[in-house]
């Protein structure tokens, strides 16, 4: 049973900005709903207004342009997996998308929602961090751009200010062709939240690790060099994270498995 | 608010509360109770319906979001006493025990076969990874699909 709320579906950025101004404290943005609806059901949020962004112009647009791959706020995780452009040019994005939840959830869950929630266990955040993706942030007074490196500020906290929304995600053309692999440790073979996840990406001569479920925010580690051996690489990655013990695993188990994953990924992604 | 949608080929125009889920609308407003509520939070897949061609958890979709949508539920499968091919294969292969997960399973398989008529065993497992079955152990469910599509050998599935 859901707490009662009103449903609003703005058709333009101006309408959305006005609604967010009117409901700064009691409004919640709805994209895929796969986090928001259960959170309302469980009493985590009690919004009086839910504002659906799926009817904004270009909300579902997934477009390859000169600047890279552009994702509107309603682009779903499975839209990424079904996109030939994403599969051919941004396989790292697909590697992470494929590990997110179940098929039905991926049919609704949006890439934007997965990062705006800023959960430490976000599966899309490691890819967006490693691929130098940029958040295009909308507001009533215009747009600003922010690299995802500066987007996550704490557990479930982002750099979005009141009245702002994530309008578009741009994965730059300079990251096309990056190769990588994402290893996600789960309690079961089927879908589950991660215990830890490690993405490894080779982009030109640069080595990047994106780590989920191992710190208050998803973490980018770009200080491993091609000269580092596996042990040094694992030590560098572990030095950048601060895993905790919780219901899904202990701090020690997470640290151990991050090291295992870093070594495996270095051997796997050549 | 008033919404208009097509469910199993029938067009409905109905009032719905803005905070009601599509699942609740289907069951309580339309009276189609084949679609089940299990966990209510997108884990179990018992509430799976097909919305605009995609399998979705109807417990996490608002009825308001389904305005204008084309929906398929388990009630649209059998034609009178004649089961659909998927239902008949589930029955032949003992892919049903208590039956609570079955409507959602059938919807997930239906979406899969619409896009991939000859799925691999891995593709079948992936299609139903969001549908929990606590009775069958899944083997018979995968076999029901492979028998229907002629893909994969019957039996010998180590685990799902």
Q: For the domain that residue A186 is a member of, what is the CATH number?
A: 3.30.390.50
A78 at B interface, C-beta within 8 A: yes
- SS3 per residue for chain B: CEEEEEECCEEEEEECCCCCEHHHHHHHHCCCCCCCCCCCCCCCCCCEEEECCEEEEHHHCEHHHHCCCEEECHHHCCECCECCHHHHHHHHCCCCCCCCCHHHHHHHHHHHHHHCCCCCHHHHHHHCCCCCCCCCCCHHHHHHHHHHHCCCCCCCCCCC
Instruction: Give pLDDT tens digits for B58-102.
Output: 999 999 999 999 999 999 999 999 999 999 999 999 999 999 999
Q: Does the structure's ipTM exceed the value 0.90? A: yes
Please name the member of B18, B61, B129 whose beta carbon is closest to the beta carbon of A103: B129
* Contact assignment for B40 to A30 by CB distance below 8 Å: no
User: How far, in Å, CA of A34 to CA of B99, rounded?
Assistant: 25
Quote the domain boundaries for residue A107.
62-174
Please report the residues numbered 50 through 89 in chain B whose beta carbons come closer than 8 angstroms to any beta carbon of chain A.
54-57, 59-62, 64-65
Same domain, A145 and A240: no
* Contact assignment for B56 to A191 by CB distance below 8 Å: no
pLDDT tops 80 at residue B20: yes
For residue A5, the chain B residue with the least C-alpha distance is B19
Let me know if residue A11 belongs to a domain: yes
The model's pTM is 0.96
Let me know if residue A1 belongs to a domain: no
CATH of the domain at A47: 3.30.43.10
Please identify, among A144, A174, A204, the residue that sits at the C-terminal boundary of a domain: A174
Q: How many domains does the structure of chain A reveal?
A: 3
Same domain, A231 and A142: no
Same domain, A46 and A67: no
Instruction: Give pLDDT tens digits for A47-92.
Output: 999 999 999 999 999 999 999 999 999 999 999 999 999 999 999 9
Let me know if residue A57 belongs to a domain: no
Same domain, A228 and A170: no
Same domain, A24 and A114: no
Let me know if residue A145 belongs to a domain: yes
Same domain, A263 and A202: yes
The DSSP bridge pattern shows strands B2-7 and A219-221 to be unpaired
pLDDT of residue A81: 97
A117 at B interface, C-beta within 8 A: no
Which residue segments constitute the domains of chain B, with CATH numbers given? 2-76 (3.10.20.30), 85-149 (1.10.150.120)
pLDDT tops 90 at residue B16: yes
For residue B21, the chain A residue with the least C-alpha distance is A2
* Contact assignment for B108 to A104 by CB distance below 8 Å: yes
* Contact assignment for B18 to A5 by CB distance below 8 Å: yes
Same domain, A66 and A166: yes
* Contact assignment for B64 to A7 by CB distance below 8 Å: yes
pLDDT tops 50 at residue B160: no
């Amino acid at each position: 049973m859901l707490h009662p709320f009103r449903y609003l579906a703005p058709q333009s950025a101006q309408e959305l900005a006005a609604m967010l101004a009117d409901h700064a404290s009691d409004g919640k943005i709805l994209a895929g709903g796969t986090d928001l609806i259960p959170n309302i059901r469980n009493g985590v949020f009690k919004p009086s207004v839910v504002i659906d962004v799926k009817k904004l112009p270009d909300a579902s647009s997934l477009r390859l342009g000169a600047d890279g791959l552009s994702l509107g706020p309603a682009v779903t995780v499975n839209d990424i997996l079904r996109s030939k452009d994403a599969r051919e040019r941004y396989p790292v994005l697909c590697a992470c998308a494929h590990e997110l939840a179940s098929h039905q959830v991926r049919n609704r869950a949006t890439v934007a929602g997965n990062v705006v929630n800023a959960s430490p266990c976000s599966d899309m955040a490691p890819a967006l961090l490693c691929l130098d993706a940029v958040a295009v942030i909308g507001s009533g007074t215009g747009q600003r751009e922010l690299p995802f490196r500066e987007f996550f500020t704490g557990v479930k906290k982002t750099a979005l200010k009141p009245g702002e929304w994530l309008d578009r995600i741009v994965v730059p053309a300079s990251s096309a062709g990056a190769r990588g692999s994402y290893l996600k440790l789960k309690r079961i073979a089927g879908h589950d939240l991660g215990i830890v996840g490690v993405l490894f990406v080779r982009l030109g001569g640069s080595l990047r690790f994106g780590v989920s479920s191992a710190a208050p925010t998803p973490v980018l580690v770009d200080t491993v060099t091609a000269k580092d051996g596996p042990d040094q690489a694992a030590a560098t990655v572990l030095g950048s994270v601060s895993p905790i013990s919780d219901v899904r695993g202990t701090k020690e188990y997470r640290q151990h498995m991050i090291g295992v994953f870093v070594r495996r990924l270095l051997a796997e992604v050549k | 608010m008033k919404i208009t949608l097509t469910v199993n080929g029938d067009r409905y125009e109905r009032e719905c509360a803005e905070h009601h889920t599509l699942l609740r609308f289907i069951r309580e407003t339309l009276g189609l109770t084949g679609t089940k509520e299990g966990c209510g939070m997108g884990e179990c897949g018992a509430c799976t319906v097909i919305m605009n061609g995609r399998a979705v958890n109807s417990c996490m979709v608002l009825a308001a979001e389904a305005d204008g949508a084309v929906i398929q539920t388990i009630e649209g499968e059998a034609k009178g006493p004649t089961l659909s091919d998927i239902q008949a294969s589930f029955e032949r292969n003992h892919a049903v025990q208590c039956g609570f997960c079955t409507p959602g399973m059938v919807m997930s398989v239906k979406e899969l076969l619409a896009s991939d008529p000859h799925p691999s065993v891995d593709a079948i497992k992936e299609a139903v990874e969001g549908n929990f079955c606590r009775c069958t152990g899944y083997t018979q469910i995968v076999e029901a699909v492979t028998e229907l599509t002629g893909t994969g050998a019957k039996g010998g599935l180590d685990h799902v």
